[in-house]
């Protein structure tokens, strides 16, 4: 890879983010202007503030990570003379940023304890939520929210999707069961999540790519591939997702307790700020969990006890549990019917 290609790839990453954000913000702004319902506007404004806050916070650490990676790379070189663009291109050519960041946040049990929560929620409950609510609320370009979440932050994308749902009016949907395109992609993605701690240098990146790719398939192809056979009710799917994500989180928590020789709260706080990449994904799950709790409380989906449990456990299993207990038979988290 030459200098021009390396810099072009790096620039295209930010260009894709800008296009995705610009497209979604243009649609959401148009909906906001046309919306005359004051409560809907207030809810949208609240999630806008959450989206801005999570974006600034997580991307502060993302830029810190890039700065750290660049300095770390040059610290291993004997000669670092040359123009900045030349040095930048050499860094990009010889550093797998995506893999480096993810390996950092998955390399130890305490780091994986943060990461598995975000992964489980993203490929599980959140994928179902986007799939169903995009149909119910006629939300365009649903797949862009998943892609934006993977490129930017899940907390940012989830708040933008909450805005889209808040500004829309729900309608009845015909199907109350999930096609194999949806449930099989989700279950295989969760399998990839559970396998991550057991990967090695050869299998880590392929497993990570499988996890990310499968999460987007239902949103990209679900409307075009509607298989009538082997459907699974949404309540059963939410229950399966809860069992799997709860098992993953329980296992990682037990491993964490065996791994630590210090108080867990202090260890988690220290780890959260141990590395810029860790801080970015750690605060992403915190913002994602907080936004989910605000979403559920705003629409009065459930009593506050499960929401408090969410705040102190993991949004991954709790989101699917609340959906199953709320109104899983119609494939929706109960708050959706109250959005109007």
**Could you read off the pLDDT of 53-92 as tens digits, one per residue?**
999 999 999 999 999 999 999 998 877 778 888 899 999 9
pLDDT at position 337 is 33
Tokens of 338: 């109250």
**Could you read off the pLDDT of 164-186 as tens digits, one per residue?**
999 998 887 766 788 888 999 99
pLDDT at position 78 is 79
Highest mean pLDDT among 228-232, 291-295, 326-330: 291-295
- Report CA 246 to chain centroid distance, whole Å: 17
pLDDT at position 224 is 58
pLDDT band (50, 70, 90) for residue 262: confident
Q: How far apart are CA 251 and CA 246, in angstroms?
A: 8
Q: Is the pLDDT of residue 248 over 80?
A: yes
Q: Is the pLDDT of residue 226 over 70?
A: no
Q: How far apart are CA 1 and CA 312, in angstroms?
A: 46
Question: Please, what is the Cα angle at 250 between 290 and 277, to 5 degrees?
Answer: 55
In the block, which residue shows the tokens 């790839």? 9
pLDDT at position 275 is 96
Range of the domain at 91: 3-338
Domain count, the chain: 1
Mean pLDDT of 102-120: 94
- Entry pTM: 0.90
Mean pLDDT of 189-207: 94
**3-class DSSP state for residue 177?**
strand
Tokens of 334: 């109960």
Whole-Å CA distances, 332 to 109, 158, 238: 33, 16, 10
Least confident of 31-35, 71-75, 225-229, 320-324: 225-229
Mean pLDDT of 291-310: 70
Category of 82 on φ-ψ map: left (φ > 0), alpha (ψ -120 to 50) or beta:
left
């Amino acid at each position: 890879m030459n200098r021009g290609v390396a810099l072009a790839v790096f620039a295209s990453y930010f260009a894709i983010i800008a296009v995705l954000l610009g497209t979604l913000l243009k649609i959401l702004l148009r909906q906001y202007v046309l919306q005359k319902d004051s409560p809907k506007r207030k809810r949208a404004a609240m999630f806008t503030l959450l989206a801005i806050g999570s974006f600034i916070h997580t991307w502060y650490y993302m830029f810190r990570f890039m700065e750290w990676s660049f300095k770390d790379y040059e610290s291993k070189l004997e000669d670092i003379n040359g123009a900045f663009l030349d040095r930048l291109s050499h860094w990009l050519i010889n550093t797998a940023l995506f893999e480096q960041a993810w390996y950092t946040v998955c390399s130890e049990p305490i780091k994986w304890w943060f990461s598995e929560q975000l992964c489980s929620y993203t490929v599980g409950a959140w994928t179902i939520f986007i799939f169903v609510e995009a149909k119910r609320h006629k939300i365009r370009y649903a797949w862009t929210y998943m892609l934006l979440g993977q490129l930017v932050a899940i907390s940012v994308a989830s708040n933008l999707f909450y805005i889209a749902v808040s500004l829309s009016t729900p309608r009845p949907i015909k199907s109350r069961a999930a096609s194999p395109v949806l449930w099989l992609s989700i279950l295989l993605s969760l399998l990839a999540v559970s396998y991550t701690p057991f990967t090695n240098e050869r299998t880590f990146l392929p497993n990570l790519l499988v996890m990310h790719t499968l999460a987007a398939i239902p949103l990209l192809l679900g409307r075009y591939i509607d298989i009538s056979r082997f459907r699974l009710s949404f309540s059963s799917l939410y229950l399966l997702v809860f069992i799997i994500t709860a098992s993953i989180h329980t296992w990682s928590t037990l491993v964490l307790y065996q791994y630590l020789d210090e108080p867990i709260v202090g260890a988690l706080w220290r780890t959260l700020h141990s590395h810029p990449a860790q801080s970015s994904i750690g605060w992403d799950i915190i913002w994602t969990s907080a936004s989910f709790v605000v979403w559920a409380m705003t629409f009065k989906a459930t009593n506050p006890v499960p929401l408090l449990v969410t705040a102190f456990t993991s949004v991954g299993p709790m989101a699917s549990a609340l959906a199953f207990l709320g109104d899983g038979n119609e494939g929706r988290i109960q708050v959706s019917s109250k959005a109007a």
